[in-house]
Chain A
Amino acid sequence: GAVVSQHPSWVICKSGTSVKIECRSLDFQATTMFWYRQFPKQSLMLMATSNEGSKATYEQGVEKDKFLINHASLTLSTLTVTSAHPEDSSFYICSARAGTSGRWYEQYFGPGTRLTVT
C-alpha cells in the first residue's frame, strides 16, 4: 500500500517552454501533497504544500507564479514549471500523506521526475 506515482519520470525541454508533472496517490486518498526539489548531492528542498481544493502554500524563496501547483482531487496534484530555464533543471519529487494523525501522517514519495532544460 501507499504507492505514489509520478509522470513523466524524465523530461527534456527547451528554455522558455512549460512542463507539467503529475503526481498521483494510487491506493489512498491524499489530503496533502508536497513538492520537493533536489539538486545533485544536495538535500531535499520543500517547494510547496498543497491541500485538495485549496491554494498551495509556497516555501520562502519559491516563486509561485513560476511553479504552479494544482491539487484538483484527493489523488492528483500537478506541478507546472512555467518558462523553464536551465537553472530549473533538477530532480522534482512529490510526496503525499493521507491524514494528520497517527500513521496517516506518514509521507510517501513518488519516484521523482528528472527535468533537464536545454
Chain B
Amino acid sequence: QKEVEQNSGPLSVPEGAIASLNCTYSDRGSQSFFWYRQYSGKSPELIMSIYSNGDKEDGRFTAQLNKASQYVSLLIRDSQPSDSATYLCAARGDDKIIFGKGTRLHILP
C-alpha cells in the first residue's frame, strides 16, 4: 500500500515566522511530489510541485525533496494569517496522485 504520511497538526506558528510542514512517502519509485493548500470548505489548490532532490523556491514558499530519506517538506516564510489552511502533501503513484491526510496550519496574529 503506497502511502503519504503527514502530521495532522494543528501546527501553530506566530505571524511573520517560518512554518515548516513535513511529509514522508512509502513508494521509493515516486518521482513527482506536490503540495496543495486547502482552505476550510474549499477545494485543494496546487501551490508547489517538485521533481528533483534539493530545494525549489516560489515566492514565500520553498519545497524541499530528499529522495534518499523519502522526505518532502514545505517552508512558508513570513507566515501570514491568510496562510492558515490545511496543507496536503502528495506523491505520484502508478496512475494517480497519492494524498496525505493533511496538516492543519494555524498562523497566530
Contact = CB atoms under 8 A, between A and B. Distances in A.
A2 B46 CA distance: 10
Interface string A89-118: 001010000001011011111111000000
Interface stretch (B12-20, B75-83, B97-105): B97-105
Task: Label chain B's interface by main secondary structure.
Answer: loop
Contacts, number: 40
Contacts of B36: 109
B69 interface: no
A108 B34 CA distance: 11
Interface residues of A, number: 20
How many of chain B's residues touch chain A, expressed as a range?
Answer: 20 to 34
Nearest to B99: A44
Interface of A: 2, 32, 34, 43-44, 46, 49, 91, 93, 100, 102-103, 105-112
Interface of B: 32, 34, 36, 41-46, 49, 51, 88, 92, 95-97, 99-102
22 contacts: A32-B95, A34-B96, A43-B101, A44-B88, A44-B99, A46-B96, A49-B95, A49-B96, A93-B43, A102-B51, A103-B49, A105-B32, A105-B92, A105-B97, A106-B49, A107-B34, A107-B46, A108-B46, A109-B36, A109-B43, A109-B46, A112-B42
